[in-house]
Chain A
Amino acid sequence: MVRKKVSLQEGSFPVQCSGCRICELVCSFTHYEIFNPALSRIKVAKLESELIDYPVTCRQCSNPPCQKVCPTNAIERDNPLRVNRINEERCIGCGECVTACPFGAIFIPAGKNSPVSCDLCEGEPKCVQFCPMKVLTFTSDEDLAREKRKKVAEAESKNQEV
């Protein structure tokens, strides 16, 4: 099965992340029926003085460091979408997974004991549906690479015409 993930694909202005955080709102609402960015599994990293907004969520690694370091084998990915499911009975809340993730995409929300990360909303990620700037995509690495190959080919064919 093809592994898909949510990723940021910006184009030329204004196809950019605007930092509006609608992804955070819809994510927390979908999972907890509350509007609370703190519980969202996608987070917009904001560097105000650097003028940067950058949404970060789970990259659905094929060799996930979070799973590898879990001392109690609480992170299960044996499901059709191959997303992280935290077995809360086995999870001891040690936070090793948080340390191991290079992206900060798995974390323990304030007031909770176990970590969370993107579950792709059963294959229909709401953040992608609601992103007003249409910069979040739900795609596979294979498709992404294919798109890029197409663009290279297009550019190449234009060069030849000239």
Chain B
Amino acid sequence: MLNGGYGGTILRVNLDTKEIIKEPLDPELAGTFIGGRGINSWLLYREALPHESPFHPRNPLIFGVGPLTGTMLPAASRFTVTARSPLTYGHGDANAGGFFGPELKLAGYDHIIFKGKSSSPVYLWIENDRVELRDARYLWGKDTWETQELIRKELGDEDIQIACIGPAGENLVRVACIIHGLKRAAAKAMGPIMGSKNLKAVAVRGTKGVKVAQPDEFFQICARILKQYQRKDLTLYGTPISLFYEAKTGCSWATKNLQTTQFPGIKNITPDKFNEKYLHRLKACFGCSLSCGRTYIIKEGEFQGVKGEGPELAACWSWGTQPQVDNLAAVLKSDALSNQMGVDCIETGDVIAFAMECYEKGILSREETGGLDLSWGNYRAVHTLIEQIARRQGIGEILGEGMRIAAQKIGKGAEYYCRHIKGQSFPAEMRGKHGSVLGYLTSTRGADHLRGIAVDDLMPIKYIQEHFGEEALKGEGVKGKGKATKWVQDMTTIPDLFGVCKIFYVLSAVYTDFTPDDFARIYTTATGMEMSGEELFRASERIYNVEQAFNVKVGGFSRKDDCLPDRLFEEQVDGGSAKGKTLKRDAVEKLLDEYYEARGWNKSTTAPSRQTLERLGLKEVADDLEKRQ
């Protein structure tokens, strides 16, 4: 019985026939996969067409929130979007905060499954029980900010929350994302999937509320977290706070497409400079006491009038350190523009830095760039490229395909400068950091810093020491790293299942203090469903295995795909704490061996073994994988 937390309803929207069906959420499904990313991943595994392109109309696009989303549990603001990724061709999902997820829950829904392709652009409008598809032809071509404003105007309600695509998603640009609000982005190539279905936006207004099963205890837990877990420094500087550490050494972890660490200009874009010149106001997501967001307005100079929300650390890397732009106003312009166009700042910034290196190395000529001077630091070229990528114009046509496909199309040795894992690029340095290496390599959605969140810097030290040994904590340690990575991945999956913010739970150190039992207690008090820490941890593991099974079955991945660019093995880091480091192939292989063993996956196919799957109650997945072989 679902007594709280959950909305209790799954929406199925058929964009071919315009049919909308409401299904009750099965309590057994909820208990097994918890919610959010978990149920989304299972639905994708069950309902995706294994042999068809990610853009095939009958492939599903799934929105989901967790059982805690919309409650007062701090930072319960998250929604997950899941589909087969057109960048990796395997499992794809992306997660964003803001106010859209809670609003969907307040309207009474846990998940929305879109299938089919509308004959003309539409958007979905949900007002509590009323759900309808509406004409979006007048919105097609509009940027994400305009789109949201126009929908609110059309429907006459300022409190409507909207997730939408910009021109980039419409044009099936692979580096496109879904944008909610001014900057909340669900990236990982989910934007073009929406575009491929002619679905411009999802607009929600919910006034039903979220009940919890054991209100008194639940409220006490929320109150305790709100009181005990603060990060004043993050409230003051946001996630770009990391730039301070980089600026101290004059070295960046992400500059010039990772060919160097040297970027003295970094001191001009640190968050104190931002606060001094452009800061407007604080900006939190729903129910978050940390408030790592902020808004900005540029009041004078070349970019006078530019305003927006952000930039996060990744955007500072993409628009600042990577292309070596030390003009903070220009960085903010890129940030605002990428959000309006609906391109993922990480993937887009990465592919632009890659193009700049190709230009530097003479692989891309000025003729091929359409006359654009892609020299490092040329922020005007960055702005032009963001627009060209979103609109598939000029060189943007190729770059918008993501780094892997772009490198293939450019040829002439460009592949060497291309940094991706399974088609998904990565922005930061990992030489000398074996935790990151393993976390990025074994993430189920391609290179990603959030699956095994920053295993090097943010590990719960005491737990790792006790359970996996001293070496697991060392940057270049090997022994224990695989086991520790698995543990961190499973622990940090819990926020994704709950529909709460991982940043809050990791950076405020809740996850170093809270055991799986504590998280299970949150779940039980909210939903009324019995859950032990062990069971909850197993649910995380189950979901990781479902995603991996999808990657093997549909993505066709095996051990050869868990690989890094040659460059990281051949070139040394030229400065900073990792100076002189390269990666060693045998060490990486050892790391992977221990990891697969800890996971119970086959060391050559990376498929979860029957024994592992059956232990997790996934017998039908084991049968499925066997049939395939």
User: Quick one: given A29-B219, A51-B307, A132-B291, are A36 and B282 in contact (CB under 8 Å)?
Assistant: no
Residue of B209, B211, B282 touching A17 (CB-CB under 8 A): B282
Contact residue among A18, A25, A26, A35 (Cβ-Cβ distance under 8 Å from B282): A18
Q: How many Å lie between the Cα of A110 and that of B288 in the bound state?
A: 25
Complex Cα spacing A37 to B70, Å: 10
Interface of A is mostly: loop
B148 CB to nearest chain A CB (Å): 7
Kindly state whether residue B297 has any CB partner on chain A within 8 Å: yes
Chain B neighbourhood of A111, CB < 8 A: 207
Closest 6 CB pairs of A and B: A36-B209, A132-B289, A38-B207, A18-B284, A20-B284, A18-B291
Contact A14 B288 (CB under 8 A): no
Considering only CB atoms, which chain A residue lies closest to B285 in the complex? A20
Minimal Cβ-Cβ distance residue in B for A47 = B158
Q: Which of B277-292 contact A (CB under 8 A)?
A: 279-291
Q: Tell me the smallest distance from the CB of A104 to a CB of chain B, in Å.
A: 12
A-B pairs with beta carbons under 8 Å apart, 8 shown:
A18-B288, A20-B286, A34-B211, A35-B209, A51-B280, A51-B281, A51-B309, A132-B230
Contact A37 B106 (CB under 8 A): yes
Other A-B pairs, 4, CB within 8 Å; known A33-B215, A36-B208: A14-B235, A22-B287, A34-B211, A132-B284
Residues of chain B within 8 A of A51, CB atoms compared: 182, 280-281, 283, 295, 297, 307, 309
- In chain A, positions 1-45 with a C-beta closer than 8 Å to chain B are 13-14, 16-22, 25-26, 28-29, 32-39
Quick check: A48 and B182 within 8 Å, CB to CB?
A: yes
> Which B residues are CB-close (under 8 A) to A130?
223, 226
A119 within 8 A of B: no
Chain B residues close to A by CB (< 8 Å): 70-72, 99, 106, 145, 148-149, 158-159, 181-182, 207-212, 215, 219, 223, 226, 230, 235-236, 275, 279-291, 293, 295, 297, 307, 309
User: Which residues of A lie under 8 Å from residue B159 when comparing CB positions?
Assistant: 46
> Given the complex of chains A and B, what is the CA–CA distance between A22 and B285 in angstroms?
10
Contacts of B284 in A (CB 8 A): 18-20, 132
Residues of A near B148 (CB, < 8 A) are: 48
The answer, among A25, A48, A49, A110, for a CB contact under 8 Å with B287, is A25
Could you say which residues of chain B place their CB within 8 Å of the CB of A53? 281, 283
| Bound CA–CA A15/B318 (angstroms) | 30
**CB contact list, A33-87 vs B, under 8 A:** 33-39, 46-49, 51-53
Interface string of A80-99 (1 = CB under 8 A from B): 00000000000000000000
Measured between alpha carbons, how far is A21 from B286 in the docked complex, in Å? 6
Q: Is A153 positioned at the interface, with any CB of B under 8 Å from its CB? A: no
Determine whether the beta carbon of A14 is less than 8 Å from that of B209. no
Q: How far is the CA of A70 from the CA of B421 in the complex (A)?
A: 67
Distance in Å from the Cβ of B124 to the closest Cβ of chain A? 20
A133 touches B (CB below 8 Å): yes
CB–CB B72/A29 < 8 A: yes
Instruction: Check A35/B281 contact, CB under 8 A, given A46-B159, A51-B307.
Output: no
- In the complex, what distance in Å separates the CA atom of A52 from the CA atom of B283? 9
**B236, A36: Cβ atoms closer than 8 Å:** no
CB distance from B151 to the nearest CB of A (A): 12
Q: Report the separation of the CA atoms of residues A38 and B210 in the bound assembly, to the nearest whole angstrom.
A: 11
Cα distance A48–B585 in the bound complex, in angstroms = 50
Partner of A133, one of B99, B158, B207, B282: B282
B279 & A13 in contact (Cβ 8 Å cutoff): yes
* Complex Cα gap A33–B72 (Å): 11
Across the two chains, which residue of chain B brings its CB closest to A22? B287
Alpha-carbon distance A52/B307, docked complex (angstroms): 12
- A19 nearest CB across to chain B (Å): 6
- Would A133 and B291 count as touching, CB distance under 8 A? yes
Given A29-B72, A34-B210, residue A14 in contact with residue B236 (CB < 8 A): yes
Whether B286 pairs with A28 at a CB distance below 8 angstroms is no
Q: Which residues of B contact A34 (CB under 8 A)?
A: 209-211
A104 to B288, CA, bound (A): 25
Query: A114-162: which residues lie under 8 A (CB-CB) from chain B?
Result: 130, 132-133
Instruction: Report chain B residues within 8 Å CB of A20.
Output: 284-289, 291
A28 to B282, CA, bound (A): 24
What is the CA–CA distance of A122 and B292 in the complex, to the nearest angstrom? 33
CB-nearest residue of chain B to A30: B219
